[in-house]
Chains A and B, each alone.
Chain A
Amino acid sequence: MAERPKGSAEQGANKPALSLHVPEPTYRPGDPVDFAHITVPDAGKQARPDETCDAIETSDLCYDLVRVLGNDNKAHGPWDPKLDPDTLRTMLGHFAMVRAFDERMFRGQRQGKTSFYMKCTGEEATSISAAMALASDDMVFPSYRQQGILIARGYPLIEMINQIYSNRGDKLKGRQLPIMYSSREHSFFSISGNLATQTPQAVGWAMASAIKGDSRIAATWVGEGSTAEGDFHAACTFATVYNAPVILNVINNQWAISSFSGFAGAERTTFAARALGYGLAGLRIDGNDPLAVYAAEKWAADRARANAGPTLIEHFTYRAEGHSTSDDPSGYRSAQEREEWPLGDPVTRLKNHLIELGEWDEDRQAAMDLKCAEEVKAATKEAEKNGILGHGLHHPFATMFEDVYEDLPWHLKEQSEQAIRERETKFPEGRPGS
C-alpha cells in the first residue's frame, strides 16, 4: 500500500487540495437570463441515417439537435416527416386539448376537487407527436407527464377526470394518486409514483413481444432527472443485450422539481449520449419541434420494428410551468427562463407552421381553443356527478381489499369485515353513495 506522507500537515502542501464540485444552475430567481450557451442549430441541417444503421452511426446525432421547423415556420431537411395538413391539424387539436385539460384540472386542484395535479405545458409534443408516430397498439410505459398520449389515443376525458377525482366512476377504484392513469384498451401501462421503474418494464414487454414473434413494440418515457435511477441503466443494458424493440424517451425538461439537469449529469455530456456507452442508437432532438419529435419517434419505431434495435431519444425541452400543484418554481429559477427559452413553444410553432402552409389561421385557432375548453368543462361537470375527492362519492369500502390478490385470503376477509363494522359504527344511518 502506498504510504501517506508522514509528519506535519505542511507536507504535501504543494499539491492542490481536492475540491468537490456541486453543480449550480446558471440562473436563480431574479437573475437575467441569457441562453446563448445553448447551441440551437439551423433546422434541417442534421443528417438522417437509415433506420437500420449501426448504432454507432448515430453518434453525432447524440450531441447535435435534430430540428425540422425553422424560424421561418417552414419544414426543412431530411428529417421532415412530410405530414399532410389534416394530420398536422389533428396534432394541433390534441395540443389544444391537453392545454385546456391541464388548465382546468390545475384549477380544479386549487378549488379543492382533488389533491394533486401535474401539467405538461411546453412538453406537449414529446408525448402527443411521439404517440402519433407509434401504432395505436404499441405499448407505452409512460411516466406522469404524458397525459398527451391518452388524449392522442382518444381516451375519454371523463375517465381521466374520474381518476383525478378518485370518485366512484374511477376505473382504478380510487387507489392511485391523481394522474396515475392506466388503460389496457389503450395499451397504456399503469403509472408508478416510483420514478424510472417503468423503464425496465417497457424493455421486458418489448422482449416478450419479440419472444412471441409479435409486431408490436414498446416505448417508455422518463424524466432526465430520473435517468440517474438504477432502473434506467438496467433498462438500457437489457434493451441492448436483447436488441429489444423498444424506444427509451428521455424528456430533458431541464428541471427535476428544484434540481436542474446538472444533478443528473447534464454538465458533462448529453442524455442522448448515454446511448453510446450501451451500444444503443441515440438521437437528441428539439423537443419543442413537433415535426422533429414525430420524425425521430417514427425513425426509432421503424428501426425497432425492423429488428434493427432499440433507440434512446433525448427530447430537449423546457418545463414551462411548476413541477406540480405543490411546487412554486419562482423559488428556485429565474422567471425569465420560460420567455427566453430558445426553442419556443411547441403549440405556437405548430400553429405558425400550419398558418405558413396556408392551412390555418388565428380565428380557427381561437375557435378550437374555445371548443376544447368547453369540451373539458362539459366532461368535468359530467365527472363531478360521480363525486370529487373526499366528498363521499367513492367506491364501497370493501373494494379496498379487492385485487391485492386474485382471491381474497382469510386475513383480508377479516380486515374487510372490520372496515365495514367500523363504518357502520361511525355512520349508523349509512353515508350517501358509499
Chain B
Amino acid sequence: MIEAINEALDLKMAEDPDIIVMGEDVGYFGGVFRATAGLQEKHGKNRVFDTPISECGIIGAAVGMGAYGLRPVPEIQFADYIYPGLDQLISEAARLRYRSANDYIAPMTVRSPFGGGIFGGQTHSQSPEALFAHVAGLKTVIPATPYDAKGLLIAAIEDNDPVIFFEPKRIYNAPFTGYYDKPVEPWKKHRDSVVPEGKYSIPLGKARIAMEGDALTVLAYGTMVHVTEAVCLEKGIDAEIIDLRTIVPLDIEAIEASVEKTGKCLIVHEATRTAGFGAELSALVTERCFYHLEAPVERVTGFDTPYPHSLEWAYFPGPVRIGEALDKLMSE
C-alpha cells in the first residue's frame, strides 16, 4: 500500500506544480514509513520538505498555502499527533470555505497513518476518524487496498475541500500476523496484486463491495475489511462486505441496498466503541432500513480504553470478537 501512496503523490506532483508535500521527516528521508521516499529528489526541496515538529504549524501553514492557491498535502506522522493541529483543522480548514462564502478555500489533503497492529502503544495506534466525521466541512477517507489507496489519494488531492486521508498502517507493507490473528488471505491477495501504473481515481463517497453475499451485510473500512472477510470465509458465511472507503461523504445508497437485500447488519471498526463512527452507521441503518431488518444492528469495535501496548492484539477486533458477532447475527 505504501508504494501505491508514493506513486499517487509522485504522479500528482508531476502533473500539478501547485502540489506541496510537507511534514516531519518527509523530505530527504522520505517519511518514517517511506511514503514520500524519493519525492524530494524528484520534485525539489521547494515542493517536498521537512517541517518543524508543530502540527499546529503544519496545518496552519497549509491553510495559508491553500489560500494562496497551492494544494498542500501535509503528512501528520501518526494520527495520534494530529491533536495539536486540531484547532487549525476544525476551526480553520474545515470552515474556511463556509465562513468566507467561497472567498477562500483550504484544498489540502492531510495524510496520516492510523490504527494499531504494529505495537505502537498509546501514541502510535489510535483511530480518531469519528472525531473528523463529526466536523462539518471535512472529508474523511480510509483506503483498504493498495489499488484504492492510489485512486482515492488522487481523488483526495484533486478535491477542493480539506480531506483527512487515514492510512491503515497495519497493512502498509506486511500481511498482518499476530498472536491471535492468522495471516489474512484476503489482504495478501490485495498486497500481491499489481497496482496499475498511471493515473486513475476513485470518487470520494463511493463504497466498494469487498465480498458479495446475501446472508448479512458487514460495514467496515481499512484493515477491518480484510479481517472480517477472512473470518467470513473461514466460517463459510455468505456475507456482503461493504468497504466504505470514505466515511464522509458516505455511500448511503450502497449501505441501504445491501441491508435491504440481506436484512442484517454488522458494523466493524477498530476505534473505541462509545460515540464511534459505528454508532452513526447503526443509527442510519436503523432509521433507513428498519423494516428490512431481521435482527438488531450489531457493532464490533475496539474497547473503550486507551490503546494498550503489549495487549493490543486483545484490544482491537480480531477473529474471535468478529466471529461471535457473526454467529449471533446468523442465528437470529
Seen from chain A, the residues whose Cβ lies within 8 Å of a Cβ on chain B are 139, 141, 171-173, 175-176, 180, 182-184, 189-190, 192, 194, 197, 199-209, 211-212, 218, 230-231, 234-235, 237-238, 241, 403-406, 409-411
Contact = CB atoms under 8 A, between A and B. Distances in A.
Contacts of B137: 404-405
B102 A405 contact: no
A173 to B, nearest CB: 5
A200 B56 contact: yes
B88 A200 contact: yes
18 contacts: A172-B101, A182-B99, A194-B91, A200-B63, A200-B64, A200-B88, A203-B61, A208-B69, A212-B70, A234-B60, A237-B57, A238-B61, A403-B102, A406-B161, A410-B249, A410-B252, A411-B250, A411-B252
Contacts of B54: 234, 237-238
Contacts of B141: none
Given A182-B100, A192-B92, A200-B56, 7 more contacts: A182-B103, A190-B96, A194-B87, A194-B91, A201-B63, A231-B87, A406-B105
A358 B248 CA distance: 66
Contacts of A209: 68
A6 B46 CA distance: 60
Nearest to B55: A234
Contacts of A189: 67, 104
B65 interface: yes
From DSSP, what is the main secondary structure of chain B's interface residues?
A: mixed
Nearest to A190: B100
A190 to B, nearest CB: 4
A268 to B, nearest CB: 23
A204 B97 contact: no
Given A234-B56, A405-B161, A410-B249, A172 B65 contact: no
A177 to B, nearest CB: 9
A231 B88 CA distance: 9
B116 to A, nearest CB: 28
Contacts, number: 144
Interface residues on B, range: 35 or more
Nearest to A234: B57
B34 interface: no
A383 to B, nearest CB: 17
A197 B70 contact: no
A201 B64 contact: yes
Given A184-B104, A201-B67, A211-B46, A238 B62 contact: no
Contacts of A207: 61, 64-65
Given A171-B101, A172-B99, A404 B136 contact: yes
A240 to B, nearest CB: 9
B175 interface: no
5 cross-chain pairs, A with B, having the tightest CB-CB distances, nearest first: A204-B64, A200-B60, A204-B61, A234-B57, A208-B68
B47 interface: yes
A270 B134 CA distance: 41
A171 B100 CA distance: 8
Contacts of A201: 60-61, 63-64, 67, 88, 92
Contacts of A139: 67-68
B56 to A, nearest CB: 5
A271 B62 CA distance: 26
B99 A208 contact: no
B252 A403 contact: no
B98 A175 contact: yes
Contacts of A183: 103
A241 B161 CA distance: 28
Contacts of B159: 406
Q: Which of A180, A199, A409 has the most CB of B within 10 A?
A: A409
